[in-house]
């Protein structure tokens, strides 16, 4: 018997990951959802690919459940594999329905070539995509927009950030909303918001993510979302709370950078950083 008490601790992590590979993928009944008012404020989640709505969706899910916001996923692309696009759309519909998110398609098979290279080399095609994104924003008048940060590594994630930024600059000067930058492929250097994720919300996020069957069979990243959210607590303790600061007693969390879009530009965040626990009211920020 090992005298190292951490051996059992680590082996339990390994056991859970291995057992998780046998769990059901998708097909769960939709979660109960209260009727939203037609006047409910809207939050748009600009997702570069199907599955991003789940990966970064912890705060949108809390906005839906706690503030009764109408959370709508904007499917920027359906992936680069044309033979999988309709299948991925069906998987996306199942995931959004399970969480209670609305869904807007940018085009029948999604937008094409949403990346920095296309923005530079095919301005006409890029301009049409910007018009589509701008119309979606203008038609919905969201209170919050979720979009990847500018250095999120994946070219479509970076392209989606540029797409939304260009679209916002075409809107009337009077348009104002919160911009919430998200991360997945590459961490942000300057997040200012750490949002605790409850066990129940994380379980629902994983169940929704499992609807993307074709993707998680290729790479079961849904099983690694909980440790990622644990590591966010480690990083966020100092990135959000300040160097040398103590991490809050969260188990799971997601990091964001929250700024205000006002008069066709992003305003610098007024606060250095904020921790939001499951017991804190989001109305203090978005009310």
Question: 142-159: per-residue pLDDT in tens?
Answer: 999 999 999 999 999 999
- Do 46 and 53 form a contact (C-beta atoms < 8 A)? no
| Lowest-pLDDT range of 65-69, 96-100, 204-208, 264-268 | 264-268
pLDDT in the model for residue 148: 98
- Do 218 and 162 form a contact (C-beta atoms < 8 A)? no
Residue 1 confidence (pLDDT) above 70: no
Model confidence pLDDT, tens digit, residues 3-53? 999 999 999 999 999 999 999 999 999 988 778 999 999 999 999 999 999
pLDDT in the model for residue 35: 86
Nearest to 26 by CA among 97, 102, 76: 97
pLDDT in the model for residue 202: 98
Model confidence pLDDT, tens digit, residues 53-100? 999 999 999 999 999 999 999 999 999 999 999 999 999 999 999 999
Count CA within 13 A, CB hemisphere, residue 81: 9
pLDDT in the model for residue 268: 81
Average of pLDDT values for 106-129?
98
Nearest to 115 by CA among 145, 81, 83, 154: 154
Residue 175 confidence (pLDDT) above 80: yes
Percent of all residues in the chain with a pLDDT value above 90, rounded to a whole number: 93
Mean pLDDT of the chain: 96
Residue 192 confidence (pLDDT) above 90: yes
Q: Which two tokens stand for residue 203?
A: 């379980």
Residue 138 confidence (pLDDT) above 90: yes
**Statement: the pTM of the whole predicted model exceeds 0.95:** yes
Q: How far is the C-alpha of 211 from the C-alpha of 270, rounded, in Å?
A: 38
Q: How far is the C-alpha of 45 from the C-alpha of 43, rounded, in Å?
A: 7
Neighbouring-strand partners of residue 265? 262
- Do 63 and 286 form a contact (C-beta atoms < 8 A)? yes
Q: In angstroms, how far apart are the furthest CA atoms of the chain?
A: 69
pLDDT in the model for residue 270: 66
pLDDT in the model for residue 18: 96
Average of pLDDT values for 108-132?
98
């Amino acid at each position: 018997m090992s005298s190292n008490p951490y051996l059992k601790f680590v082996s339990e992590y390994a056991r859970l990951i291995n057992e998780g590979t046998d769990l059901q993928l998708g097909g769960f009944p939709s979660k109960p959802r209260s009727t939203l008012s037609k006047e409910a404020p809207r939050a748009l989640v600009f997702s570069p690919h199907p599955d991003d709505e789940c990966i970064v969706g912890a705060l949108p899910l809390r906005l839906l459940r706690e503030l009764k916001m109408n959370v709508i996923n904007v499917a920027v692309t359906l992936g680069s594999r044309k033979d999988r696009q309709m299948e991925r759309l069906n998987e996306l519909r199942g995931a959004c329905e399970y969480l209670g998110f609305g869904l807007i398609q940018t085009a029948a098979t999604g937008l094409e070539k949403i990346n920095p290279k296309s923005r530079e080399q095919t301005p006409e095609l890029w301009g049409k995509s910007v018009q589509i994104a701008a119309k979606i924003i203008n038609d919905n008048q969201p209170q919050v927009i979720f979009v990847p940060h500018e250095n999120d590594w994946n070219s479509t994630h970076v392209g989606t950030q540029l797409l939304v930024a260009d679209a916002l600059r075409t809107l009337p000067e009077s348009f104002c909303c919160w911009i919430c930058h998200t991360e997945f492929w590459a961490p942000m250097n300057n997040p200012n918001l750490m949002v605790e994720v409850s066990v129940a919300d994380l379980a629902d996020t994983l169940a929704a993510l499992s609807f993307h069957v074709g993707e998680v069979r290729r790479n079961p990243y849904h099983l690694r979302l909980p440790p990622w959210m644990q590591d966010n607590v480690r990083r966020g303790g100092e990135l959000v709370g300040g160097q040398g600061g103590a991490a809050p007693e969260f188990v799971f969390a997601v990091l964001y950078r929250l700024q205000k879009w006002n008069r066709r530009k992003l305003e610098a965040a007024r606060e250095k950083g904020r921790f939001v626990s499951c017991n804190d009211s989001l109305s203090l920020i978005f009310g």
